[in-house]
Amino acid sequence: MASLRGTQQPELSKKLYKIIKTENHVIGAHEAAARERVGVARQLSEWGEATEDETISEVSDKLGVLMAEIAEQEDLYAQALEDYRGVLKQIRNTESSVQPSRDHKAKISDEIAKLKYKEPQSTKIVQLEQELVRAEAQSLVAEAQLTNITRQKFKEAYDHHFAATIERAEKQIILAKHARRLLNLVDDTPVVPGDLHPPFAGTEEARQVLNDAEDDLRNYELHVEPIHSNSGNLGVGAMPGAPTGGIGAAPVQDTTQYRDNVGTVEDGRYAESSVQGTDAGSQPPYPVSEAERLEQQQATEQITQPQPTAFQHVA
Amino acid sequence: MASLRGTQQPELSKKLYKIIKTENHVIGAHEAAARERVGVARQLSEWGEATEDETISEVSDKLGVLMAEIAEQEDLYAQALEDYRGVLKQIRNTESSVQPSRDHKAKISDEIAKLKYKEPQSTKIVQLEQELVRAEAQSLVAEAQLTNITRQKFKEAYDHHFAATIERAEKQIILAKHARRLLNLVDDTPVVPGDLHPPFAGTEEARQVLNDAEDDLRNYELHVEPIHSNSGNLGVGAMPGAPTGGIGAAPVQDTTQYRDNVGTVEDGRYAESSVQGTDAGSQPPYPVSEAERLEQQQATEQITQPQPTAFQHVA
């Protein structure tokens, strides 16, 4: 398993390895955008104060609050991408674990061909042919596991991915619309030299804008078309399991568990080490008692509740 | 004017200079996110092909197309931020140009105070006091220009900024929702060893998803609450101008010209050099014949039409 952490990936998992790596750069870029955006928000408030114009000072300070919250949503988006990236790793681990059984089968076939050419009477040929039958059986299992895991996790990964895109977008729209309300509190009627703008009359309304934004964000719920899955009875060893719902139970389930997963992410980064080995997808096509134990453990971990989204920047 | 390009900013424009600098980092981060996201889109399509699973191959290829378009929207957002940044520079340039008149007034006051202490009978005092009256008049004009330009351009800048936030979000929601439709074309019913998934039946539907996404994006229009402005008659020299609409014309105008500006941005980057000196905001409080010429030139440039948004990645 040591090669999984290095750059030497089995041929089968090289392409997904690249995606996982590039996605890490995407995440870093969104994190940087969030970090710098918070900087602009703070600097905007400081600039407004320094103008000694009460109107600009009040409005820029409140704009800064909303802008910092937009940055917070950008950062949560990056965290959700990290979660999706964890699901891609489950496919990659399965790909890596299937490679040896392909190699093993090919190696035995090669040996048989060589022996038949060099020592056609060798008794070892019969022995190798028996071994090949076993290797082919093992390989059939491995390939079925690969396609089962790939399809299930592919849907799950991009379900999360695009749900996160929609959630970031919808929340940032809420915040940007309230920010635009603040701008209309600035009276930009030009003054002649020596005249002053009238005193700022929008203090109460500006405060109300922040309250409204906070309320809207607190009441926000993600509504997306569910992604349907038939993999619900995918059992231990990534093989079709027994129907769990009894007669008449619909086999189609929605895999959209995005909110639960966001909750898990908020508790800490989806560490690579916690993914490897804890999922049925990374199990080799061998007896499954250990896999059973781990799958049960994973099911327990998924009960973790999501954290409610809170508008933290309003004093 | 050489100091405007260096790190030595006049005290008055230091804080805005910082915002403009940090905003450049934000823009760079969103550009990087867009670039890397395009990379993931391409790698996703390549991975899908390599799985030799027709379903995964078709769906991942189409997902890649939508993902590349999401990246394109991220990049357009970065360009729109560049545009908003150009408006901030107009405020900064005005701040920089007002600094000398503040300094000049303070210097004369100082000289008078010193002379009155050292040589109370000096005839130079009368001369300096006359100069101070002129400096105060100039300073009053400069401060009026500063507040007029600041309020007008502040509203304009953040009008653009938050309109761009909303536009990126709404377009990415469109694309992400269509991407989720594609996921439902993947049948993830588990297979037993030796069995194959049925052939992919969603080719036509997958193509339709891309067509729908393209149509939705083509028909997209940004609808935001307009930002109202009373600065419509802000004339040459950043002073209140004569009403242009005649009797009964409403003075309130909407400054929301976001779409026009996006069009300008698409023609090329909002270069710093093109901002400096072409706006009334950066004019010193002196005779305005040159300013008049430049303002007219700028008005002509703004006629540039926006480019229609096209869904370029669909073959």
> Does B152 sit within 8 Å of A188, measured CB to CB?
yes
On chain B, the residues whose CB falls within 8 A of the CB of A154 are: 56, 59-60, 186, 188
Averaged confidence pLDDT in chain A = 81
Among B227, B259, B150, B48, CA closest to A177? B227
Helix (H) or strand (E) holding B95: helix B54-118
Cα–Cα distance for residue pair B147/B166, rounded to 1 Å:
28
Name the residue among B140, B170, B186 with its Cβ closest to that of A173. B170
What are the b/e assignments for A260-278, b being 16+ CB within 10 Å?
ebbbbbeeeebeeeebbeb
> Does B184 sit within 8 Å of A43, measured CB to CB?
no
With an 8 Å Cβ cutoff, is A193 touching chain B? yes
Count CB neighbours of A99 within 10 A.
17
Overall average pLDDT of the A145-165 stretch: 97
A90-118 pLDDT, tens per residue? Answer: 999 999 999 999 899 999 999 999 999 99
Q: What is the DSSP string of A37-70?
A: HHHHHHHHHHHHHHTT-HHHHHHHHHHHHHHHHH
Q: SS3 breakdown of chain B: % helix, strand, coil, rounded to 5?
A: 70, 0, 30
Confidence of residue A201 (pLDDT cuts 50, 70, 90): very high
**pLDDT score recorded for residue A7:** 55
Which residues have a Cβ under 8 Å from the Cβ of B267 and sit 6 or more positions away?
B304, B307
Residue type (1 letter), B306: P
Confidence of residue A231 (pLDDT cuts 50, 70, 90): confident
> Does A140 sit within 8 Å of B186, measured CB to CB?
no
**pLDDT score recorded for residue A252:** 52
In contact, A261 and A167? CB cutoff 8 Å: no
> Does A177 sit within 8 Å of B225, measured CB to CB?
yes
Among A163, A125, A148, A103, CA closest to A241? A148
Token output for B197: 């998934």
Residue type (1 letter), A48: G
On chain A, the residues whose CB falls within 8 A of the CB of B43 are: 15, 18-19, 22
Q: How many CB pairs under 8 A join A and B?
A: 251
Cα–Cα distance for residue pair A171/B165, rounded to 1 Å:
11
Nearest chain A CA: its distance from B295 CA (Å): 17
**pLDDT score recorded for residue B53:** 95
Nearest chain A CA: its distance from B133 CA (Å): 13
Among B83, B139, B102, B80, CA closest to B13? B102
Cα–Cα distance for residue pair A291/A234, rounded to 1 Å:
13
A122-133 pLDDT, tens per residue? Answer: 999 999 999 999
Q: What secondary structure letter does DSSP report for B236?
A: T
What are the b/e assignments for B56-69, b being 16+ CB within 10 Å?
bbbbbbbbbbbbbb
Name the residue among A168, A190, A194 with its Cβ closest to that of B148. A190
Name the residue among A19, A33, A189 with its Cβ closest to that of B40. A19
Token output for B17: 């200079």
Angle in degrees, CA B155, B160, B164, rounded to 5: 145
According to DSSP, the residues that pair with B254 across neighbouring strands are B228
A164-195 pLDDT, tens per residue? Answer: 999 999 999 999 999 999 999 999 999 999 99
Cα–Cα distance for residue pair A107/A100, rounded to 1 Å:
10
On chain B, the residues whose CB falls within 8 A of the CB of A155 are: 183, 186, 188
Which residues have a Cβ under 8 Å from the Cβ of B84 and sit 6 or more positions away?
B23, B157, B158, B160, B161, B164
Nearest chain A CA: its distance from B119 CA (Å): 33
**pLDDT score recorded for residue B233:** 67
If you measure CA to CA, which chain B residue comes closest to A161? B176
Nearest chain A CA: its distance from B121 CA (Å): 32
Q: Is B206 left (phi over 0), alpha (psi -120 to 50) or beta?
A: alpha
Among A101, A151, A159, CA closest to A283? A101
Name the residue among B23, B158, B186 with its Cβ closest to that of A179. B158
Confidence of residue A39 (pLDDT cuts 50, 70, 90): very high
Helix (H) or strand (E) holding A168: helix A124-183
Overall average pLDDT of the A25-41 stretch: 98
Residue of A260 and B223 predicted with greater confidence: B223
From residue B142, alpha-carbon distances to A301, B2, B87, B146, B234 in Å are 65, 20, 19, 6, 14
Cα–Cα distance for residue pair B152/B144, rounded to 1 Å:
12
Q: Which long-range contacts (CB under 8 A, 24 or more apart) does B286-291 make?
A: B288/B236, B288/B237, B291/B236, B291/B237
Cα–Cα distance for residue pair A143/A141, rounded to 1 Å:
6
- pLDDT truncated to tens, each residue of chain B (315 aa)? 444 444 578 888 999 999 999 999 999 999 999 999 999 999 999 999 999 999 999 999 999 999 999 999 999 999 999 999 999 999 999 999 999 999 999 999 999 999 999 999 899 999 999 999 999 999 999 999 999 999 999 999 999 999 999 999 999 999 999 999 999 999 999 999 999 999 999 999 999 999 999 999 999 999 999 999 988 767 767 788 755 444 444 445 555 545 444 333 333 333 333 333 334 444 433 334 444 444 445 544 444 444 444 444 433
**pLDDT score recorded for residue A109:** 94
* Residue A58 scores a pLDDT above 60: yes
- Which A-chain residues 241-300 have CB contacts (< 8 A) with chain B? 241, 251
On chain A, the residues whose CB falls within 8 A of the CB of B239 are: 190, 192-193
On chain B, the residues whose CB falls within 8 A of the CB of A194 are: 140, 144
On chain B, the residues whose CB falls within 8 A of the CB of A185 are: none
How do A228-229 and A253-254 pair as beta strands?
A: antiparallel
Token output for A169: 């977008």
How do A253-254 and B228-229 pair as beta strands?
A: unpaired
Cα–Cα distance for residue pair B92/B158, rounded to 1 Å:
15
**pLDDT score recorded for residue B242:** 58
Count CB neighbours of A20 within 10 A.
19
Cα–Cα distance for residue pair A189/B151, rounded to 1 Å:
9
Token output for B296: 């007219």
**pLDDT score recorded for residue A308:** 43
Which residues have a Cβ under 8 Å from the Cβ of A222 and sit 6 or more positions away?
A163, A166, A167, A170, A258, A259
